[in-house]
Chains A and B, each alone.
Chain A
Amino acid sequence: MKENIKSRHQKHGLETSAVNTWCKGCGNFGILTALKSVLAKREDTLGSLVLVSGIGCHAKIVDYVAVNSFYSIHGRVLPVACGIKTANPRLTIIGHAGDGDAYGEGISHLVFAAKRNNDLVFIVHNNRVYGLTTGQFTPTSPKGFKGRSTPKGSIEEPFNPLRLMLASGATFVARGYAGKHAHLASLIEQAMVHPGFAFIDVLQPCFTFYNTYKFYNEKVVEIRDEHPVDDFDAAWKLAGKWDYGLEADQIPIGIFYRIRKDTYEEELLPKETPSLDVALHLKRHHF
């Protein structure tokens, strides 16, 4: 398997034959570019990489990268990813979800993945609108958002996903911007080497239904190196700088919080077999 993927990548790189159907100008392209640039550097690990996606525009990303993938169902990226990781902890899992997936239908899974500290990377393509169903309000749409299900403007305050993750016990909390590929790539790279649940909320403009490029280009600032990433209170304060509303002074992007805690897999699996092979496990237990 590994050999096949390797030889395939030597021939075609990470390209697939799938026709890309995202709208022109879609923020998903920025995320795809960042992801591919990280994967291109880590060719040796591609054989053990699995991408998992949900349902929505973001989910097509698995069609556009030539690695193993599981295109799951709306909201269920994390339980599927947890299942894969538990059965074969040697695999590296990157979960991709939309804001509907992660913060709407699948929010309980998100809270639990953070609580358990599952050893996964989770990238939320947060365009703050339902793109595939053509433009409705989502859990991170700002108050006053005029979408097709909220023609007079949403009356709800949006979630602040970063604070939600901090409160849920996530050990790696970051925010990226699809318009800054190199910065986002660096976040993905650091998330991949983080042991435990690595959460990246990516601000992703939806060119067709919620074009936020101008807003983000003006407001986004990279978090300074002096920010103490292991300080919860500092992270909480920084995450509160912008509450996903219509207004912002500055929108910090980068790593807000990063600490080392035992992962779910480290707690769950026998210490002497940190990289448990399922086949070996089954054989050993005479299944």
Chain B
Amino acid sequence: MGKRIGVEVSIAIADAVKLARAEVIPAYPITPQTHIVEHLAEIVANGELDAEYIPVESEHAAMSACCGAVAAGARVFTSSSSQGLSLMSEILYIPSTMRLPMVMVVANRAMSAPISIWNDHQDIMVQRDIGWIQTFAENGQEAVDLVLHAFRVAEDRRVSLPMIVNIDGFTLSHVIEPIELPTQEEVDAYIPPFKPKRKLDPRKPVTMGPVGIPEVYTEAKVAHDHAIKNSRKVILKAWKEFADHFGREYHPVESYKAEGADTILVTMGSISETAMTAIDKMRDEGRNVGLVRIRLWRPFPAQEFRAATKHAKVLAVVDRCLPPGAVCGPVGAELRSIFYKIPGAPKIFSFVAGLGGRDVTVERFEEIIDKAEQYSKRRPKELYEVIGVREK
């Protein structure tokens, strides 16, 4: 096992990509993701990684080049954020249905307008339905671990799907944390060489990406849906083996003091660590509260989530995305759906917080829990509430 060292999370992610032996890296700079691909450019230039780095002309080109490189049989990595991720949008649906595995780290950032380089989850929620497997990291070590896990899962022949690891922009990407990077031998033992199911091979010609006429389009989409649902088993097994190899355990849904809690706070991403502090404080004050964090966003772990919250009376769900005109935030909507008509289901209250880099403090989490408990007794006027809006 490698040594634990203080390192910027973006740099550690790039090192993880090196350890995973990525072969083609097409990338375009965008804040706050830039350090990841910059460091990879350096690693490739130094000869530490036998890979091709393409400084492409746009994110649209980056994602297109990723598709081409996987089709030709290479292990592929890229990274983006916000508007850059949105510029990829046209392409993002393609590798998933075409079953072209690759790994992308998204350093989550708000969407314009107004222009913001700071963190929230609006960029990735725009891409909720692209059909990629998606995980969320809470800290630097998790970011590294989830990147290694992503290569292992994405390229598994039973899965063969692209995968996004979400890390909060700046909050994670730009902080220095104590991170343990495994050795090359350990990673090689965990991630086998990429053997694509299909690739562009002159000896066995195939047509990739042809037209899906109405007679087959539905079936192609259903096949993709089956693939992402079935990936669950591989995702879980890869996490179990990760624990065997590296000693750190991961689950689709993580609980913190949630056992027997009446009110459970639900979070995703790096705010979860502040949320734990809030739970500790409220527990000390005698409140029966807990926390559940969603690590696996797609495929959504409905079964695990219900199990983790089965005794709760109230769920206070925090979304870091405001979908204007919708009935609530995307995580809130997901949870309301999975509990619909389930006997004894908790009451679910949806909150939106931490937009465009606004901190979500311990006090804010206390406010959210207090409000959810009040609303469980007296129905709120609105279907969701934005926390911490300045009145002047």
Name A's B-contacting residues (CB within 8 A). 55, 71, 73-75, 104-105, 107, 130, 132-134, 136-137, 139, 148-152, 154
In-complex Cβ contact of B38 among A74, A132, A136, A154 (8 A): A136
Residue contact A149 to B53, C-beta cutoff 8 Å: yes
CB distance from A116 to the nearest CB of B (A): 22
With A and B bound together, what is the CA distance between A55 and B82 in angstroms? 13
In the assembled complex, the CB of B284 is this many whole angstroms from the nearest CB of chain A, namely 44
**Cα A176 to Cα B30 with chains together (Å):** 28
**Do residues A149 and B55 form an inter-chain contact, with CB atoms below 8 A?**
yes
Chain B, range 44-75, C-beta contacts under 8 Å to A: 45-46, 53, 55, 57-58, 60
**A149–B38 contact, CB under 8 A?**
yes
Contact with A along B267-281 (1 / 0, CB 8 A): 000000000000000
B230 contacts partner chain A, Cβ-Cβ < 8 Å:
no
Inter-subunit contact B29/A104 (CB<8 Å): no
Q: Mark B87-114, 1 if CB is under 8 A from A, else 0.
A: 1000000000000000000000000100
| Least CB separation from A150: chain B residue | B55
Main secondary structure of the interface of B (DSSP, over half): mixed
Contacts of A71 in B (CB 8 A): 115
> Are B112's CB and A73's CB within 8 A?
yes
* Extra A-B contacts (13), CB below 8 Å, given A148-B42, A149-B55, A151-B45: A55-B115, A71-B115, A73-B112, A74-B83, A136-B38, A136-B55, A137-B55, A148-B34, A151-B41, A151-B42, A151-B46, A152-B45, A154-B55
**Is B187 in the interface zone, CB < 8 Å from A?**
no
B34 to chain A: which residues have CB within 8 Å? 133-134, 136, 148
Per-residue interface assignment for chain B, residues 16 to 49, with 1 indicating a CB less than 8 Å from any chain A CB and 0 otherwise? 0000000000010111001001100110011000
Query: In the complex, what residues of B have CB within 8 A of residue A133's CB?
Result: 29-31, 34
In the complex, residue of chain B having the shortest beta-carbon distance to the beta carbon of A133: B29
* Known A55-B115, A148-B41, A151-B42: A132·B31 in contact at CB below 8 Å: yes
The residue from B27, B37, B57 contacting A139, defined by CB atoms under 8 A apart: B57
| Cβ contacts under 8 Å, B87 to chain A | 105
Count A/B pairs, Cβ under 8 Å.
Answer: 48
* Chain B contact residue count (CB 8 A cutoff): 20
Chain A: minimal CB distance from B302 (Å): 36
Contact indicator A148/B38 (Cβ below 8 Å): yes
Q: Is the CB of A105 within 8 A of B58?
A: yes
Across-interface contacts of B29 in A (CB, < 8 A): 130, 133, 136, 148-149
Q: Is the interface of A mostly helix, strand, loop or mixed?
A: loop
Give Cα A223–Cα B260 distance, bound, in whole angstroms: 81
C-alpha spacing A55/B114, complex, angstroms: 12
Output the least CB separation between A157 and chain B (Å): 14
Across the interface, name the chain B residue whose C-beta is closest to A75. Answer: B58
A104-B58 CB under 8 A given contacts A136-B29, A149-B29: yes
User: Are B115's CB and A150's CB within 8 A?
Assistant: no
7 contacts between A and B (CB under 8 A): A73-B112, A107-B57, A133-B29, A149-B38, A149-B53, A150-B41, A151-B41
Residues of B within 8 A of A75 (CB): 58
Closest 3 CB pairs of A and B: A151-B45, A133-B29, A152-B45
Per-residue interface assignment for chain B, residues 349 to 374, with 1 indicating a CB less than 8 Å from any chain A CB and 0 otherwise: 00000000000000000000000000
A134 and B38 CA atoms in complex are apart in Å by 10
Looking at A73, A130, A133, A149, the one whose CB has the most chain B CB atoms below 10 A away is A149
* Set of chain B residues within 8 Å of A132, measured between Cβ atoms: 31
> Min CB distance, B17 to chain A, in Å?
15
Contact partners of A104 in chain B: CB under 8 A: 57-58
A131 to chain B, nearest CB (A): 11
Minimum distance in angstroms from B119 CB to a CB of chain A: 17
Smallest Cβ-Cβ distance to A104: which chain B residue? B57
State in angstroms the CA–CA spacing of A160 and B37 once bound together.
Answer: 27
Q: Measured between alpha carbons, how far is A107 from B58 in the docked complex, in Å? A: 10
Residues of A within 8 A of B45 (CB): 150-152
Query: Within B139-159, which residues are at the interface with A (CB < 8 Å)?
Result: none
Question: B267: shortest Cβ distance to chain A, in Å?
Answer: 30
Q: In the assembled complex, which residues on chain B have CB atoms less than 8 Å from the CB atom of A152?
A: 45
Instruction: State in angstroms the CA–CA spacing of A69 and B34 once bound together.
Output: 28
Q: Closest residue to B27 on the A side, CB-wise?
A: A149
Shortest Cβ distance from A132 into B: residue: B31
Q: Which residues of the other chain, B, contact A107 by a CB distance below 8 angstroms?
A: 57
Contact indicator A149/B41 (Cβ below 8 Å): yes
Minimum distance in angstroms from A128 CB to a CB of chain B: 14
**Inter-chain contacts of A105 with B (CB < 8 A):** 57-58, 60, 87
**Residue interface mask B325-361, A partner, CB < 8 A = 1:** 0000000000000000000000000000000000000
Whole-angstrom CA separation of A148 from B41 in the bound complex: 7
Question: A148 — which chain B residues lie within 8 A by C-beta?
Answer: 29, 34, 38, 41-42
Chain A residue nearest to B84 in the complex (CB): A74
Q: Would B83 and A149 count as touching, CB distance under 8 A?
A: no
Query: In this complex, what residue of A is CB-closest to B29?
Result: A133
Cα A4 to Cα B87 in complex, Å, equals 38
Q: How far is the CA of A154 from the CA of B53 in the complex (A)?
A: 11
* Residues of chain B contacted by A55 (CB below 8 angstroms): 83, 115
User: Chain A contacts of B83 at CB under 8 A?
Assistant: 55, 73-74
The complex places the Cα of A149 from the Cα of B78 at a distance, in Å, of: 13
Complex CA–CA separation, A104 to B55 (angstroms): 11
Residue among B46, B55, B83 with the highest chain A CB neighbour number at 10 A: B55
With both beta carbons as reference points, the residue of chain A lying nearest to B43 in the complex is identified as A151
Chain A residues with CB under 8 A of B30? 133
The complex places the Cα of A137 from the Cα of B60 at a distance, in Å, of 17
Tell me the nearest residue of chain B to A107, going by C-beta. B57
* Chain A residues, CB < 8 A from B37: 149
Q: Which residues of the other chain, B, contact A73 by a CB distance below 8 angstroms?
A: 83, 112
**B contact residues around A154 at 8 Å (CB):** 55
* Residues in B whose Cβ lies below 8 Å from that of A74: 83
A73 and B58 alpha carbons, distance in the complex (Å): 13
B60: nearest chain-A partner, CB-CB: A105
B115 shortest CB reach to chain A, Å: 7
- Mark contacts of B147-183 with chain A using CB atoms, 8 A cut-off: 1 yes-contact digit, 0 otherwise: 0000000000000000000000000000000000000
A168–B62 alpha-carbon span in the complex (Å): 25
Q: In the complex, A18 Cα to B41 Cα: how many Å? A: 36
Which single residue of chain A is at the shortest CB-CB distance from B46?
A151
Residue of A nearest to B57 (CB): A104
